Amino acid sequence: MIVLVGFMGAGKTNAGLRVAEALDVPFIDSDAAIEAADGRPVRTIFAEDGEAGFRRIEAATIAALLAGPPAVLSLGGGSLGSAEVREALVGHEVVLLDVSLAESLNRVGGDPSRPMLQHPDLAALYAGRQRAYRDAATVVVPVDGLSKEETAAHVLAALGHRAVGE
């Protein structure tokens, strides 16, 4: 399994789609899988069940996906807060899309579909997640300043594959 991790706005979903297409394997986004299984949008789960409720659903969904058939899997930016998820990642190829907080906020700041952007101290949230990202990662791809296409190409290069059309 190739797993893309990183903070909100790193480009995990877009890069994941392109990498999966290039490698001819299915693409799964953990937030989309949660919404499909639960029947509610992520922001509604946060509003109705709180962050803790979302995290329970998220960890169970991701653990099940990681035990499933090979795919490119993009994970929500807060999912590595769960020990269950961190343990389930061991043995997989984990690509950290390494985005700065400033670039992240330029890209997705204010997006109402991402409830964690309402966090009162985004700098602390961002800093507090870095250790888990880096501990889990088998590959780190810096993404500041890269387009969606460039991000996918850099991921494929880092994985040792050649992007189609490159």
Rounded-to-10 torsion of CA 123, 158, 156, 150: 50
Which residues, listed in sequence order, are joined to residue 98 by a DSSP beta bridge? Answer: 142
Q: Which is nearer to ligand S3P, 78 or 94 (CB)?
A: 78
Binding mask 10-49 for ligand S3P (x = CB under 6 A): --x------------------x----------x-------
Considering CB under 6 A, how many residues would be counted as binding ligand S3P? 10
Q: Which is nearer to ligand S3P, 109 or 115 (CB)?
A: 115
Binding mask 53-92 for ligand S3P (x = CB under 6 A): -----------------------xxx--------------
* Cα–Cα distance measured from residue 161 to residue 40, given in angstroms and rounded to the nearest whole number: 36
Find the binding residues for ligand S3P in span 92-131 (CB under 6 A). Answer: 114-116
DSSP for 97-148, written as a single string: EE--HHHHHHHHTT-TT-GGGG-S-HHHHHHHHHHHHHHH-SEEEE-TT--H
The amino acid that residue 119 corresponds to is H
* Minimum CB–partner distance for residue 111 and ligand S3P (Å): 8
Whether the Cβ atoms of residue 29 and residue 92 lie closer than 8 Å to each other:
no
Q: Name the token pair of 72.
A: 């490119």
Q: Which is nearer to ligand S3P, 31 or 98 (CB)?
A: 31
Binding region for ligand S3P (CB under 6 A): 8, 12, 31, 42, 76-78, 114-116
